[in-house]
Amino acid sequence: MNWFRKLLQPKSASQDEGALTSPAAGVVNPTPEKAAEAVPEKPENSTDEKAAAVAMAESIPSPNGTHTPASVPAVETDNPIIANLETLITEPKSEANSREAPTPAETVVLRLDKDETPATTPRATAPLPSTGELAISLVDSATRPLPQDVVLEFSPLTHVAFAQATDIGRTRTNNQDTAFTFFASSRSVDEIPDFGLFIVADGMGGHQDGEKASAIAARVVASQVLNSMYLPIVSKQNKTNDVPIAESLANAIQKANVEAMSLVPEGGTTLSSVVLIGDRAYIAHVGDSRIYLFHHGVLEKLTRDHSLVQRLIELDQITIEEAADHPQKNVLYRALGQNEIIDVDTLTKRLPQGSMMLLCSDGLWNQVTDREISEVISRIHDPQEACQKLISLANAQGGIDNVTVILLQLPG
């Protein structure tokens, strides 16, 4: 078997070349016949050794894990043993060459798998937001912060703000004052202006007669004004003989006077009213309740008291300081429910932007000075809070009468 191992042992290229061309060996390009004569004789047991070599070669596993088949095409040679050995001793195929050639369709798939790198979509992660932090949202596979919270900024006043308050006072057992407020606002192609009606009435004439008289007067005036002024404005009625607003308001007070005399013969009431259309104020007034205008720090009285002391002041018989302690300061010479025909003071005034109007009964202005009223409504911007403060001041300084306040604030 030594000769078999030598055959299996690979020769170097230099040895092969030397055997063929070296002059020292004394051989120069032997012919095929000479080469055949140089082959040693076959041993007797060559057939058994050939079978053993074939069996051994069949048992050698191929690189891909399978046995090399014995039916490999034989290499053409004159020596049968060498031919069989050359068919057995073959160089192992590389793993790349051992793969079967893919079909054209498979080639496309393989090229796609090889050339294309799948796009990696970034995954957005957001920490859990704590209190006061912005949350994170996913938009187009990216993260962006949610918009900042909009800081609410209150726009300037665009409509009339108003408030009312009333109190029984410290000494009275019932409240004979009445307050009524109505305000309507709309925005449409009709361009209907803002409309408001505000009434303060101070009843007199006994325990129940006074409160009944003030309630009746306020109710009748409100009904007349809304039906004769507001509803025609809303319904867009075109009247050719429209009565002026101030005159219509005075007519409503006349009807209230008749109603009060009929239902409460022993009672009477004051009444101060304002119809507000846009920035125009239409004022109608009877008695000693008051309407003020406050603008640029100045408090202006728009109504005239129908009282005895006020008449004496106008006649220069007493001063304002003397009127405050006059024994007849509560005596009225004009009020609803006293005469069948009553004179009504009317006034039309365009109100400045940002100005304020104050309607009140004598329970306020008899106890709180004009300077104190000005300080409160200029310092306190909320109308309702200002009304409550004025009533508290009146009660703190005696509260000898019922107190009613309506405060309007115009935009601007």
Domain harbouring 296, CATH code: 3.60.40.10
Are 173 and 46 part of one and the same domain?
no
CA-wise closest residue to 64 among 30, 99, 104, 105 = 99
Contact 197, 222 (CB under 8 A): yes
Residue 137 lies in a domain: no
Are 206 and 72 part of one and the same domain?
no
Please write down the long-range contacts of 36-43, taking CB distance under 8 Å and 24 or more positions apart.
36/78, 39/79, 40/3, 42/81
Residue 348, beta-bridge partner list: 282
Contact 182, 226 (CB under 8 A): yes
Are 77 and 180 part of one and the same domain?
no
Are 190 and 295 part of one and the same domain?
yes
Residue 112 lies in a domain: no
* Structural domains of the chain, count: 2
What DSSP assignment string belongs to 323-348? Answer: HHT-TTTT-BS--BTS-SS---EEEE
Are 251 and 368 part of one and the same domain?
yes
Question: Which spans in 126-198 are helix H?
Answer: none
Q: 409: which 2 tokens?
A: 């604030």
Sequential pLDDT tens for the chain (412 residues): 555 555 555 555 444 444 444 444 444 444 444 444 444 454 444 445 555 544 454 554 444 444 444 444 444 445 554 455 445 445 555 444 445 544 444 444 444 444 455 555 555 555 555 544 444 444 455 556 655 554 444 456 688 999 999 999 999 999 999 999 999 998 888 888 899 999 999 999 776 789 999 999 999 999 999 999 999 888 887 654 578 899 999 999 999 999 999 999 989 999 999 999 999 999 999 999 999 999 999 999 999 999 999 999 999 999 988 988 899 988 999 999 999 999 999 999 999 999 999 999 999 999 999 999 999 999 999 999 999 999 999 999 999 999 999 999 999 8
Q: How far apart are CA 336 and CA 250, in angstroms?
A: 12
Residue 263 lies in a domain: yes
Calculate ∠ Cα 143-145-149, nearest 5°: 160
Are 269 and 384 part of one and the same domain?
yes
Of the residues 71, 89, 107, the one at which a domain ends:
89
The H-or-E segment that residue 137 falls in is strand 136-139
pLDDT of residue 324: 85
Are 46 and 168 part of one and the same domain?
no
Domain coverage including residue 46: 2-22+30-89
How many Å separate Cα 145 from the centre of its chain? 16
Q: What are phi and psi of 71, to 5 degrees?
A: -90, 55
Of the residues 89, 110, 138, the one at which a domain ends:
89
Are 70 and 218 part of one and the same domain?
no
Q: How far apart are CA 83 and CA 203, in angstroms?
A: 142
- In three-state secondary structure terms, 360 is strand
Per-position b or e across 296-320, b if 16+ CB within 10 A of its CB: eeebeebbebbbbbbbbbeeeebee
Residue 231 lies in a domain: yes
Q: What are phi and psi of 132, to 5 degrees?
A: 90, -10
The H-or-E segment that residue 53 falls in is helix 46-59
Are 78 and 201 part of one and the same domain?
no
The H-or-E segment that residue 66 falls in is none
